Amino acid sequence: MEKSLCLYFQVHQPDRLRLYRFFDIGNDSQYFDEFANRTILKRIAQRCYLPMNELIYELIQKHGKDFKVAFSISGAALEQFEQYAPEVLESFKKLASTKCVEFLAETYSHSLASLKSEKEFKNQVKEHSAAIKKYFGVKPKAFRNTELIYSDAIGEAVAAMGFNTMLTEGAKHILGWKSPNFLYTNAINPKLKLLLKNFNLSDDIAFRFAGNNVTSDQYAAWLAESAKEADIINLFMDYETFGEHQKASTGIFEFMRALPEAVLANTELKFCTPSEAAAMHQPVAPLHVPYAISWADEERDTSAWLGNELQNEAFEKLYSLEKGVMAAKDEELLADYRKLQESDHFYYMCTKFFSDGAVHKYFNPYDTPYEAFINYMNVLSDFALRVEKKNNKPKKK
């Protein structure tokens, strides 16, 4: 049986909140910092999305069907592309036309809904799948949950939505002695196949590239060594790794340009998409995940978003409004509700320190987690007033 290399990239940009003061509550319902969102997106488009999409297109032209990748692009990112950088959207459509790129389903708002509301979770997945069909002309077959969050129950819900493949983290405390380099199944519904991230090899590119000065040949040698006892190696990472987190000056683009040839010439691995990998390989065992796991931090759990009282208070308050939002049947209210669900808002409230704290600080526009919490709760207070007002509005006769 062939050995597979699955390369998947996450594309997401949050809707950042503006500084929202206590005195704005009830007086101003403009929550989002459109200037920051536009400025940051345009910067990352120039540094990452446009040059990297062009590079991947060139690699596909060079290697044909021997080089394939997958993307999960959040609805939040798609909306920002359409609004601020339509050329980025066009470049992804160009990649879609090659038939060598798979687009995955996820939650539309890059939300944590799978941990709280199955109904909202399913609605967002349905909305995201429709967006992928609209923009790229394909119906997603494989699923990637926000932040690679997964549990047995979440996997069962995903299978019930018709997906037969899901991506998640190869967390040590779940795998034990087992390897992430094989195909597994959901413990409740074995029809759902699981691809597990090899975080060591993924992080060598995503987090350690600049410090390691690794070449494509060296990296291909690491892959070849890992492939000796493997069916599939899954490299999952943020797309912003290329040009934004790892600057162009590190040589990250040159590394990527040479990687496919190094892999194809020096390893047994063949590039494939997640759906192809799931169809090609036989699962070795069910994976038992009673409590939710994710990609984040040493714990590989959900504590990066829901690990302290601030985060949990904000999270519970947000989802307590779901029933009222749905009852209001107001598109503008629903759009804001979805944006307020983005996982980033809760990530900014994380109070972790040490090595993980440095990662959190890099992605955080606030000086402290407490500022993030207060700002978010001020916004949520105004939003709650809008929901209440909408539902108590006298009906027209």
C-alpha dist (Å) from residue 85 to 19, 33, 90, 103, 208? 24, 17, 9, 19, 29
H or E stretch at 165: strand 165-169
Q: Residue 256: which of 55, 71, 57, 42 has the closest Cα?
A: 55
Q: Is 249 buried (19+), middle (13-18) or exposed (0-12) by CB count in 10 A?
A: exposed
CB count in 10 Å sphere of residue 121: 22
Cβ-based neighbours of 86, under 8 Å, separated by 6 or more = none
CA distance 141 to 241: 25
Ordered alpha helix ranges (H), the chain = 34-44, 50-63, 75-84, 86-96, 118-136, 152-160, 172-175, 199-206, 209-212, 216-227, 252-266, 274-280, 303-306, 309-320, 322-328, 331-340, 343-347, 354-362, 369-391
Residues 76, 15: contact at Cβ < 8 Å? yes
CA distance 351 to 303: 10
Residues annotated as catalytic are: 147
Give the chain's length: 397
Residues 301, 292: contact at Cβ < 8 Å? yes
